[in-house]
Amino acid sequence: MSSIVSKENLSESVVRMDILAPEIARKRKAGQFVILKVNEQGERIPLTIVESDGEQGTITIIFQIVGKTTALMAALNAGDDIQDVQGPLGNPTEIENFGHVVCIGGGVGVGVIYPITKALKEAGNRVTSIIGARTKSLIILEEEMSAASNELIVATDDGSYGVHGFVSNVLQKLIDGGEKIDHVYAIGPVPMMKAIANLTRPYGIKTIVSLNAIMVDATGMCGACRVSVAGKTEFTCVDGPEFDGHQVDFDLLANRLRMYCEQEGQSYERHRCGSQGN
Amino acid sequence: MAEIATKPKKEKIPRQAMPEQDPGDRVKNFDEVPCGYPPETAILEAKRCIQCKKPGCVEGCPVDVRIPEFILQIAAGNFLGAARTLKETNCLPAVCGRVCPQEDQCEKTCILGKKGEPVAIGRLERFAADYERDRGAVTIPAVAAPNGKKVAVIGAGPSGLTIAGDLVKLGYDVTVFEALHKAGGVLIYGIPEFRLPKAIVEAEVDYLKQLGVKVVTNAVVGRLKTIDDLFAEGFDAVYVAVGAGAPVFMDIPGENMSGIYSANEYLTRSNLMKAYRFPEYDTPIVRGKNVAVIGGGNVAMDSVRTALRLGAENAYIIYRRSEVEMPARKEEVHHAKEEGVQFLLLTNPVEYLGDKDGWVTGVKCIRMELGEPDASGRRSPVPVPGSEFVIDVDTVVVAVGTMANPIVPSTTPGLETNRKGYIITKGESGETSRRGVYAGGDIVTGSATVILAMGAGRKAAQAIHQALSGVTTE
């Protein structure tokens, strides 16, 4: 059992939570994640550890309400419990002083890029960050990202805030403007990561992506999260979650992420009817 | 039967059959297939035992259960006494009575088997353990006074649970660290409900907790803490029993398509996460109409029988050798056949075909024929050129084996492993190249059986006891 210490709605569909998990809080490094299981009937879902507070013994997670489990979690409040929290899992981000790095986060992926951005800046990199979302109300962690970066550019698809356009358009402009970029980190929806990887490939800019494959045990036991990287099968949970974006088969990832669309819809529908029924 | 009696002799009691669910009914549910002996049948079966002075059955048992003794107690109607005798040497009798390959162990060396059928030792073991549990008559034996020594066990599967039970009884302070959210290892995530009800595993784990074993779930040793961290926390010895949990794929084209599972994933979803009860439970599983399971072992049989229960219209076993070479227990193959599984033997997949969304639609196979015996002594399968054909499927489960999971070895400096990643131990004690670190079960042997893993736990318990307390037990 892990109790929720605090909860905040970052946007209409994105929630931030601090959870009491002292051992994980002490041990975790940027780029790692936890598996959560809300209750006895719950499924196991991976979520990146956004921040941790070793003294308070808390870890921070950020999630978007996309289905039953996240809806169920969003309905919990400070003082409530999450049945199982397992972690830290996955390999930490390799943090070095690369020079000039660009950290790109899309949608709720900003929560995942944030700890990496912070660690890269602390390691002495000059950090330019680009965060984006469909519309202004979905932009999260703007202040935190600004503090963790030397420069922050915000973009919205609909132009309601910041630059009008995709994060990839912003990156293209940086490159076109003659910026020397040593490393790119891109985390967000699959189409975004694919677009960024395609963009940087011809320039030979090393591009790291963090993959959000479906997982069950997350310790290398089941292979649900397998992805193809440079033609080789890798497990996101133990070999990743970060991979060389130029080598990832994003189409395969997108297909595998759709494997349970129907059941996920059914489960969410049943949950919503149940919770609205009385 | 038309047997010609030449002279009158004492009527022999035949080996007693165990009632089981009708195949037509059981493929529609996940309830246990065999129903267990009623008491009168158990007594009758127990009376078949001739109480050998030098019992071969005990020699065939990896944990030295005092078999004639507990059988004699059953014959006398002392069922609870039988259960307690069992538990003195085997902390998981209800499990072993169900999943041990008795035909290769105790029952293989039963003297009655020489001329007829051996005593049904497994069924009697199961009966006694179930009788005790069902009546709420499980008693907690006295354990030795605490000796102040701490032992960490990594992995709450059969090997880890066995050593935990043995050491706690000897007065050790034992903590079991389990990566998943529930203890039991393969007994919980791997073996299906219809073969081993999870309530039984939970009861066995509860029993160990009552003995004083501490179980910490969600603790991935190697990530949350390392073995060195455990020593720093004050543990005097560590037993590594993390199993051979990593799935093996065949590395053929299309194997990562949607609808293709490792057996580990398929079974974990169904058993540990109870996906067969979706949407009551949140974890989904694909309920395929045409399901192919690749492999011929017990895990393949568990997978294919799960597929039937999830509603498959056609459930295939695709195996590259013939039925004789199948590593699965005969009983499992028999049950699978009764339930309507279609066996495609001497057949091997070479490629998966899929639709535009990347979902598997077919498995291209090639016919095989048996050549010369290979290293395993089994005749090795050789492809027949030009014999490819396609089977339409929408779900595939790859059950061709498992391998070592590197998380613990890779985070433990000085812990030697072999070429395949299994931990190297010195003989039966389970001692590794690291002082104070012992290992046993599948992470040492590669995937084997529940009882062999338990046997390794038993022997390591003795070695640890000797190392930490200077006492030899036997």
In this predicted model, which residue has the larger pLDDT, B81 or A275?
B81
Torsion (CA) B152, B156, B159, B163 in degrees, nearest 10: 40
Note the pLDDT tens digit of each residue in B70-79. 999 999 999 9
Which residue in A41, A228, A259 is closest to B282 by CB distance? A41
Measured CA to CA in angstroms, residue B93 lies from B154, B202, B456 at distances of 22, 13, 16
Cβ proximity of A130 and A104 under 8 Å: yes
Rounded to whole angstroms, the Cα distance separating A220 from B249 reads 13
Instruction: Please name the residue that has the structure tokens 């998943």.
Output: B180
pLDDT at B141: 84
Inter-chain contact B218–A264, Cβ cutoff 8 Å? Answer: no
pLDDT at B270 over 80: yes
Cβ proximity of B438 and B426 under 8 Å: no
Rounded to whole angstroms, the Cα distance separating B105 from B455 reads 13
Question: Which residues on chain A are in Cβ contact (under 8 Å) with B442?
Answer: none
Inter-chain contact A88–B218, Cβ cutoff 8 Å? Answer: no
Rounded to whole angstroms, the Cα distance separating B233 from A160 reads 54
DSSP state letters, B355-367: -TTSBEEEEEEEE
Interface test with A, best of B175, B181, B281, B447 (most A CBs within 10 A): B181
Question: Which residues on chain B are in Cβ contact (under 8 Å) with A23?
Answer: 224-225
Q: What residue spans of A148-216 are helical by DSSP H?
A: 167-176, 190-200
pLDDT at B10: 60
Question: Which residues on chain A are in Cβ contact (under 8 Å) with B224?
Answer: 23-24, 27, 87-88
Which residue in A43, A83, A238 is closest to B283 by CB distance? A43
Rounded to whole angstroms, the Cα distance separating A68 from B413 reads 42
Note the pLDDT tens digit of each residue in B199-246. 999 999 999 999 999 999 999 999 999 999 999 999 999 999 999 989
Q: B257: which residues sit within 8 A by CB, 6+ positions away?
A: A255, B352, B354, B358, B359, B360
pLDDT at A186: 97
Question: What's the ipTM?
Answer: 0.95
pLDDT tens over chain A, length 278 residues: 889 999 999 988 999 999 999 999 999 999 999 999 999 999 999 999 999 999 999 999 999 999 999 999 999 999 999 999 999 999 999 999 999 999 999 999 999 999 999 999 999 999 999 999 999 999 999 999 999 999 999 999 999 999 999 999 999 999 999 999 999 999 999 999 999 999 999 999 999 999 999 999 999 999 999 999 999 999 999 999 999 999 999 999 999 999 999 999 889 988 887 654 33
Inter-chain contact B256–A233, Cβ cutoff 8 Å? Answer: yes
Q: Apex CA A28: angle with CA B151 and CA A227, to 5°?
A: 100
Nearest CA in chain A to B177: A86
Q: Which helix (H) or strand (E) holds B123?
A: helix B121-134
pLDDT at B8: 56
Cβ proximity of B387 and B367 under 8 Å: yes
pLDDT at B25 over 60: yes
Which residue in A27, A219, A255 is closest to B258 by CB distance? A255
Which residue in A69, A217, A223 is closest to B180 by CB distance? A217
Query: B330-338 and B298-309 are packed helices; what angle lies between their axes, rounded to 10 degrees?
Result: 20
Which residue in B189, B273, B282 is closest to A267 by CB distance? B282
> What is the band of B374 on the pLDDT scale with cuts at 50, 70, 90?
confident
Inter-chain contact A233–B281, Cβ cutoff 8 Å? Answer: no
pLDDT at A222: 95
Inter-chain contact A223–B247, Cβ cutoff 8 Å? Answer: yes
Query: Distance, in angstroms, between A224 CA and closest chain B CA?
Result: 6
Q: Any idea what DSSP says for residue B10?
A: P
Q: B414: which residues sit within 8 A by CB, 6+ positions away?
A: B433, B434
**Touching check for A89 and chain B: CB below 8 Å?**
yes
Which residue in A41, A258, A264 is closest to B284 by CB distance? A264
Rounded to whole angstroms, the Cα distance separating A88 from A60 reads 12
Torsion (CA) B223, B224, B226, B231 in degrees, nearest 10: -170
Instruction: Please name the residue that has the structure tokens 């072999």.
Output: B418
**Touching check for A3 and chain B: CB below 8 Å?**
no
DSSP state letters, B362-412: EEEEEEEEEEEE-TTSSEEEEE-TT--EEEE-SEEEE-S-EE---HHHHTS
pLDDT above 70 coverage of chain B, percent: 97
> What is the band of B427 on the pLDDT scale with cuts at 50, 70, 90?
confident
Taking alpha carbons only, the member of B328, B189, B330 closest to residue B262 is B189
Note the pLDDT tens digit of each residue in A214-265. 999 999 999 999 999 999 999 999 999 999 999 999 999 999 999 999 999 8
Note the pLDDT tens digit of each residue in A42-63. 999 999 999 999 999 999 999 9
Q: Which range is least confidently modeled, A264-278, B31-45, B247-261, B451-465?
A: A264-278
Cβ proximity of B239 and B412 under 8 Å: no
Query: Distance, in angstroms, between A251 CA and closest chain B CA?
Result: 9
* A242: helix, strand or coil: strand
Report the DSSP pairing between strands A183-187 and A232-235.
unpaired
Beta bridge partners of A137: none
Measured CA to CA in angstroms, residue A270 lies from A40, A69, B285, B286, B311 at distances of 17, 12, 17, 18, 22
Phi-psi map region of B218: left, alpha, beta (phi>0 left; psi -120 to 50 alpha) = left
Note the pLDDT tens digit of each residue in B441-473. 999 999 898 999 999 999 999 999 999 998 765
* B309: helix, strand or coil: helix
Kindly list the residues of chain B whose beta carbon comes within 8 Å of any beta carbon in chain A. Answer: 179-181, 189, 217-220, 223-225, 245-247, 249, 251, 255-259, 261-262, 264-265, 268-269, 273-274, 278-284, 286, 357-359, 405-407
Rounded to whole angstroms, the Cα distance separating B91 from B83 reads 10
Which amino acid does the sequence have at B372?
E
- Interval B368-395 mean pLDDT: 92
**Long-range pairs of A79-83 with CB within 8 A, sequence gap ≥ 24:** A79/A3, A79/A4, A80/A3, A80/A4, A81/A1, A81/A2, A81/A3, A81/A4, A82/A1, A82/A2, A82/A3, A82/A4, A82/A19, A82/A36, A82/A37, A82/A38, A83/A1, A83/A37, A83/A38, A83/A39, A83/A40, A83/A42, A83/B181
- Interval B334-342 mean pLDDT: 97
pLDDT at B294: 98
Question: Which residues on chain A are in Cβ contact (under 8 Å) with B217?
Answer: 84
Burial A206-222 (b: 16+ CB within 10 A, else e): ebbbbbbbbbbbbbbbb
pLDDT at B37: 97
pLDDT at B6 over 90: no
Inter-chain contact B223–A89, Cβ cutoff 8 Å? Answer: yes
Cβ proximity of B452 and B62 under 8 Å: yes
Interface test with A, best of B178, B217, B224, B249 (most A CBs within 10 A): B224
pTM of the model: 0.94
Cβ proximity of B270 and B293 under 8 Å: no
Note the pLDDT tens digit of each residue in B133-175. 999 888 888 899 999 999 999 999 999 999 999 999 999 999 9
